[in-house]
């Protein structure tokens, strides 16, 4: 899959800076992510035909199979309407430099996070059966997200900061002895990430099939995760928001 990256940051992020980040994230996908997941993608910076996207003119800005827009936070509504009008049905994501800064995160981490999750679940509609975080005897459908559970953990590639991500064993019903559930495998209080678990600063989302309702869970008392989640919920383009707008009951009945 080719993921087109289109820079509408109004000069906040220069193309040459974006190219450096794209090069690092392409290395991350090829050298770190794909060896575990056996699928990948390539990010590619495209040109733009206008200073601002136009609903009337789809132009040729997007040349790949998916697209990530790099915007300032204020351009949310315009970006959404542009995509829905011109590229309906094409997987998409957004990176907002201002929002990343508010959350104390490098925009390159946000781009890495969005890219990895787009590679794994382009349509943002995959789920995995697993135990309820508060009641292991009850099975729920967990969101198939690569970075949410470890979203505050980062590492560097070519001096560019990128996001940690979970590994396939994370989505298994029980922990496997000697297995690794995330790429960095950092320990907190002597323990690494468990299957369907959450590290500090992260969260997990799931749907209870008995109620058809989405829930998002952070670690108890984790204010940093709560603040990040609140900020994302205010952004209509965020994957977590789009997940929650999906009607699970309608899907079950179809």
User: Where do the domains of the chain lie?
Assistant: 2-253
At 43, give phi and psi (nearest 5°): -85, 145
Strand ranges (E), 80-229? 92-96, 127-131, 139-143, 154-157, 160-163, 203-208, 213-218
Would you say residue 213 has pLDDT above 60?
yes
Higher pLDDT among residues 247 and 150, named by residue? 150
* pLDDT tier, 242 (very low <50, low <70, confident <90, very high otherwise): low
* pLDDT tier, 55 (very low <50, low <70, confident <90, very high otherwise): very low
Would you say residue 176 has pLDDT above 90?
no
Would you say residue 53 has pLDDT above 90?
no
Measured CA to CA, the distance from residue 5 to residue 175 in angstroms comes to 37
pLDDT of residue 84: 54
Higher pLDDT among residues 81 and 25, named by residue? 25
Burial of 54 (0-12, 13-18, 19+ CB in 10 A): middle
**Of 7-21, 51-65, 114-128, 210-224, minimum mean pLDDT range:** 51-65
* pLDDT tier, 59 (very low <50, low <70, confident <90, very high otherwise): very low
- Three-state SS for 5? strand
7 DSSP β-pair partners? 70
Higher pLDDT among residues 91 and 248, named by residue? 91
pLDDT of residue 38: 97
Query: Helix count (H) and strand count (E) of the chain?
Result: 8, 10
At 235, give phi and psi (nearest 5°): -100, 115
User: What's the distance, CA 117 to chain centroid?
Assistant: 4
Measured CA to CA, the distance from residue 96 to residue 75 in angstroms comes to 9
- The rounded percent of the chain whose pLDDT value lies above 70 is 79
Measuring CA to CA, which residue among 107, 119, 109 is closest to residue 71?
107
Would you say residue 216 has pLDDT above 70?
yes
Measuring CA to CA, which residue among 127, 39, 110 is closest to residue 70?
110
Tell me the CA distances in angstroms from 53 to 10, 82, 96, 128, one per residue in order: 12, 6, 15, 36
CB atoms within 10 A of CB 1: 14
- The rounded percent of the chain whose pLDDT value lies above 90 is 49
* DSSP 8-state symbol, 75: G
- Three-state SS for 139? strand
Residue 144 token pair = 């198939």
67 DSSP β-pair partners? 4, 92
- Three-state SS for 159? coil
Measuring CA to CA, which residue among 6, 3, 30 is closest to residue 18?
6
Phi-psi region of 94 (alpha: psi -120 to 50; beta: other; left: phi over 0): beta
- Cα angle, residue 24 at apex, residues 160 and 187 outer, rounded to 5°: 65
Measuring CA to CA, which residue among 85, 40, 50, 87 is closest to residue 68?
87
pLDDT of residue 58: 46
Higher pLDDT among residues 133 and 98, named by residue? 133
């Amino acid at each position: 899959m080719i993921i087109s990256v289109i820079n509408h940051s109004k000069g906040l992020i220069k193309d040459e800076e974006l190219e450096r980040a794209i090069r690092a994230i392409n290395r991350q996908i090829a050298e770190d992510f794909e060896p575990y997941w056996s699928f990948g993608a390539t990010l590619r910076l495209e040109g733009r035909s206008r200073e601002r996207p136009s609903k009337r003119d789809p132009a040729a800005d997007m040349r790949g199979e998916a697209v990530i827009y790099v915007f300032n936070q204020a351009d949310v509504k315009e970006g959404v309407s542009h995509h829905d009008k011109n590229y309906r049905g094409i997987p998409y994501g957004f990176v907002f430099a201002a929002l990343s800064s508010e959350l104390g995160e490098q925009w390159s981490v946000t781009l890495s996070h969005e890219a990895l999750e787009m590679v794994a679940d382009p349509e943002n509609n995959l789920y995995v059966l697993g135990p309820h975080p508060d009641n292991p005897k009850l099975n729920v459908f967990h969101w198939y997200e690569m970075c949410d559970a470890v979203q505050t953990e980062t590492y560097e590639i070519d001096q560019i900061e990128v996001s940690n991500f979970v590994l396939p064993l994370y989505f298994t019903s029980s922990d496997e002895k000697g297995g690794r559930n995330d790429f960095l495998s950092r320990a907190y209080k002597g323990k690494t990430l468990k299957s369907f678990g959450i590290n500090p600063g992260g969260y997990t989302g799931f749907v209870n099939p008995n109620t058809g309702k989405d829930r998002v869970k952070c670690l108890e008392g984790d204010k940093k995760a709560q603040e990040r989640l609140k900020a994302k919920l205010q952004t209509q383009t965020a994957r977590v928001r789009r997940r929650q707008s999906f009607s699970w009951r309608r899907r079950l009945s179809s």
